[in-house]
């Protein structure tokens, strides 16, 4: 089994918002840590989950697939998923895969938190 | 002076691996006589969120027992498997299905036209775009009208000293008509047979034996009613109309040629 070079931390700036800080690589090997981080983030009435990609080192196509399955889980919990910190390159990949139509992209944490309300 | 730091090796390799975004597909493949080039040009890609049916992750995996690189006879690594798969992709497809791409090897950004055996044996023309390619995997996304909205990833890895090859599809039926065929077990069976045959052909190319295993997981059991209108792009419908009107077009050409 492939190993992952990924470190995820979960913060809760408010009762209704959780931020998942992504450090490292999002590949197929990231499934278990990413879903565990989401479980931790989505407890206790969280309405918006924000992914912080500021320290993303690499994401391959399996990583994009993981974001799709994560988004499905978020939608089923009637939550929203936002993101910030994406480089121009990864913003292009969101555009290529049309994930930008499902995950709102913000330039920084302040903008994402303001949008989360 | 710009303060932007130089791109890291990982950034550079990511930029080489991913296709550039484009709003609409553009077909550059040279299509042989008798092939159908329909339902691709000008279409948009659809990710799995933009399809209609239940969302599935289907993983077809084969343990390649004693794979050898055909040219050298040396033991094949996952990188060798992917290199050969990229270079010979259409050759591993089951007979009667064709993959027309502009280049001989799978490259990021390529748009390929597919001529497939559709439901009931009807010819079906659709396509894919190569969105990602590296040494260990490559991925396609499907356009509007394809049977499935989603992504298909082809990969190889080494685990406990064994080499595996895998096809993983994250897909949902594009529209209600395809979902009906899927629920009847027709499209799903075709898909399973298709990728099982492909992996067996890949194994044969490397002189390996193995058994394809299928793991199916329902990611989203709901229908996405907002995508019901996708039926307008249904490639099976348009391919069928094209096929049954072929004699009329032939007559039209003859008549106009006489004028």
Residue A26 zone, left/alpha/beta (φ > 0; ψ -120 to 50; rest): beta
pLDDT at B119: 72
Over its C-alpha atoms, chain A yields an Rg (Å, rounded) of: 13
Residue B30 — very low, low, confident or very high, per pLDDT cuts 50/70/90? Answer: confident
Residue A44 — very low, low, confident or very high, per pLDDT cuts 50/70/90? Answer: confident
Segment B61-105, tens digit of pLDDT: 999 999 999 999 999 999 999 999 999 999 999 998 999 998 888
Pairing of strands B55-64, B148-159: unpaired
- Using CA atoms, how far apart are residues A28 and A114, in angstroms rounded to an integer? 31
With CA atoms as reference, report the closest residue to B238 among B177, B163, B162, B160: B177
CATH code: domain of residue A97: 3.30.750.24
Query: What is the distance in angstroms between the Cα of B155 and the nearest Cα belonging to chain A?
Result: 10
Segment A72-95, tens digit of pLDDT: 999 999 999 999 999 999 999 999
CB contact under 8 A, B18 and A96: yes
**With contact defined as beta carbons under 8 Å apart, do A109 and A84 qualify?**
yes
The count of domains in chain B is: 1
A92: nearest CA partner in chain B: B21
Q: What is the CA angle B29-B30-B33, rounded to 5?
A: 135
Q: Which residue has the tokens 């996405």?
A: B224
Tell me what percent of the residues of chain B surpass a pLDDT of 70: 97
The count of domains in chain A is: 1
Residue A1 — very low, low, confident or very high, per pLDDT cuts 50/70/90? Answer: low
Does B97 fall in a domain? Answer: yes
- Using CA atoms, how far apart are residues A70 and B128, in angstroms rounded to an integer? 24
pLDDT at B71: 93
CATH code: domain of residue B100: 3.30.530.20
Residue B31 — very low, low, confident or very high, per pLDDT cuts 50/70/90? Answer: confident
Does B22 fall in a domain? Answer: no
Angle of helix B235-244 relative to helix B246-258, nearest 10 degrees?
Answer: 50
Q: What is the mean pLDDT of chain B?
A: 92
Q: Is the pLDDT confidence value at B159 over 70?
A: yes
Alpha-carbon distance values, B150 to A61, A117, B142, B234 (Å): 12, 32, 6, 15
Q: Would you mind telling me the total number of residues written for chain B in this entry?
A: 259
Segment B194-251, tens digit of pLDDT: 999 999 999 999 999 999 999 999 999 999 999 999 999 999 999 999 988 988 888 8
Query: What is the distance in angstroms between the Cα of B238 and the nearest Cα belonging to chain A?
Result: 25
Does B101 fall in a domain? Answer: yes
Full residue range of the structural domain in which residue A88 is found: 6-116
- Using CA atoms, how far apart are residues B238 and B43, in angstroms rounded to an integer? 13
Alpha-carbon distance values, B100 to A58, B44, B93, B224 (Å): 31, 18, 12, 31
Handedness of CA B46, B48, B50, B53 (dihedral sign): positive
- Using CA atoms, how far apart are residues A99 and A106, in angstroms rounded to an integer? 13
Interface test with B, best of A61, A69, A89 (most B CBs within 10 A): A61
Does A82 fall in a domain? Answer: yes
Q: Is the pLDDT confidence value at B115 over 90?
A: yes
Does A1 fall in a domain? Answer: no
With CA atoms as reference, report the closest residue to A59 among A99, A110, A104: A99
Q: How many CB atoms lie within 10 A of CB B33?
A: 4
CA B257 to chain CA mean position, Å: 39
Query: What is the distance in angstroms between the Cα of A65 and the nearest Cα belonging to chain B?
Result: 7
Segment B95-111, tens digit of pLDDT: 989 999 988 889 999 99
pLDDT at B1: 46
Residue A78 zone, left/alpha/beta (φ > 0; ψ -120 to 50; rest): left
CB contact under 8 A, A89 and B134: no
B49: nearest CA partner in chain A: A68
Query: Residues with Cβ < 8 Å from B80, sequence gap 6 or more?
Result: B67, B69, B206
**Phi and psi at residue B154, to the nearest 5°:** -110, 125
pLDDT at B175: 96
pLDDT at A30: 96
Does A13 fall in a domain? Answer: yes
Angle of helix B176-183 relative to helix B186-205, nearest 10 degrees?
Answer: 80
Does A74 fall in a domain? Answer: yes
Query: In the 8-state DSSP scheme, what is residue A45?
Result: S
Does B152 fall in a domain? Answer: yes
Q: Which residue has the tokens 């299509």?
A: B31
Query: In the 8-state DSSP scheme, what is residue B224?
Result: -
pLDDT at B5: 62
With CA atoms as reference, report the closest residue to B38 among B192, B213, B256, B235: B235
Does B240 fall in a domain? Answer: yes
pLDDT at B47: 95
CB contact under 8 A, A92 and B219: no
Q: What is the mean pLDDT of chain A?
A: 95
**With contact defined as beta carbons under 8 Å apart, do B154 and B79 qualify?**
no
Q: Which residue has the tokens 């032939």?
A: B250
Full residue range of the structural domain in which residue B148 is found: 34-258
Interface test with B, best of A29, A65, A78 (most B CBs within 10 A): A65
Chain A residues touching residue B128 (CB < 8 angstroms) = none
**With contact defined as beta carbons under 8 Å apart, do B180 and A32 qualify?**
no
Q: How many CB atoms lie within 10 A of CB A25?
A: 18
- Using CA atoms, how far apart are residues A46 and A28, in angstroms rounded to an integer? 26
Token reading at A89: 């390159």
Query: What is the distance in angstroms between the Cα of A70 and the nearest Cα belonging to chain B?
Result: 10
């Amino acid at each position: 089994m492939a190993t992952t070079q990924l470190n995820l931390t979960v913060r809760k700036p408010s009762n209704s918002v959780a931020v998942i800080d992504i450090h490292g690589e999002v590949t197929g090997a990231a499934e278990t840590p990413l879903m565990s981080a989401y479980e931790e983030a989505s407890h206790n009435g969280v309405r918006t989950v924000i992914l912080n990609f500021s320290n993303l080192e690499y994401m391959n196509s399996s990583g994009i697939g993981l974001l799709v399955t994560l988004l499905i889980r978020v939608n089923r919990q009637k939550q929203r998923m936002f993101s910030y910190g994406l480089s121009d390159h990864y913003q292009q990949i969101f555009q290529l895969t049309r994930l930008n139509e499902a995950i709102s992209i913000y330039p920084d944490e302040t903008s994402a938190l303001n949008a989360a309300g | 002076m710009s303060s932007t730091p130089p791109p890291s090796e990982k950034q550079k390799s990511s930029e080489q691996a991913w296709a550039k975004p484009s709003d609409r597909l553009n077909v550059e493949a040279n299509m042989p006589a008798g092939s159908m080039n329909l339902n691709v040009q000008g279409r948009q890609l659809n990710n799995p969120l933009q399809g209609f049916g239940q969302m599935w992750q289907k993983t077809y995996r084969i343990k390649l027992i004693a794979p050898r690189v055909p040219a050298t006879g040396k033991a094949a690594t996952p990188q060798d498997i992917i290199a050969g798969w990229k270079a010979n992709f259409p050759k591993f497809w089951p007979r009667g299905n064709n993959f027309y791409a502009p280049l001989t090897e799978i490259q990021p950004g390529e748009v390929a036209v597919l001529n497939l055996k559709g439901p009931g044996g009807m010819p079906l023309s659709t396509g894919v775009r190569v969105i990602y390619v590296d040494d260990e995997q490559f991925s396609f996304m499907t356009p509007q009208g394809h049977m499935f909205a989603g992504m298909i990833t082809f990969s190889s890895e080494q685990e406990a000293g064994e080499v595996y090859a895998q096809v993983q599809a994250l897909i949902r039926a594009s529209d209600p008509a395809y979902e009906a065929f899927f629920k009847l077990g027709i499209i799903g069976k075709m898909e399973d047979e298709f990728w099982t045959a492909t992996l067996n052909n890949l194994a044969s190319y490397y002189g390996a034996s193995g058994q394809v295993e299928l793991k199916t997981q329902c990611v989203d059991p709901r229908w996405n009613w907002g995508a019901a209108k996708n039926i307008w792009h249904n490639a099976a419908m348009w391919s069928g109309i094209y096929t049954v009107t072929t004699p009329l077009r032939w007559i039209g050409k003859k008549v106009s040629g006489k004028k």
